[in-house]
Amino acid sequence: MSDHIAYALLVYTALQIFVTIGALKAGEGSLLPYFALIVLVLAIIPACRRFEARWNSLTDREARDPALAPACRRDCLLLWGIAIGLPFALTGLFKVLGLLFA
């Protein structure tokens, strides 16, 4: 799970930068990157730490238990869904808020 979390954070950060830069080039508000950074620090990192804590507390023997495979697969899919989807969702949300309050 540690590898998934590390790579998911890299993908999330790269997508966040790519999507945010795209929004800034389109003329959106300049506060967007700061809100994105706040979300990264306040939401993403603690969420990843929870994923890590859940799986890091297992012994090697417990981690090899086939009964845990569906839970691991579910957590990996959730983690990757968040890492890939959240940058687009955040940018969309900030764009909508920018339109509403502009």
pLDDT tens readout for residues 52-102: 888 888 888 888 889 999 999 999 999 999 999 988 888 888 778 777 876
3-class state of residue 28 by DSSP: coil
Higher pLDDT, 8 or 38: 8
pTM value? 0.79
Residues of the chain above pLDDT 90, percent: 23
Higher pLDDT among residues 16 and 41, named by residue:
16
Using alpha carbons, list the distances in angstroms from residue 34 to 18, 21, 58, 75, 85.
14, 12, 37, 28, 19
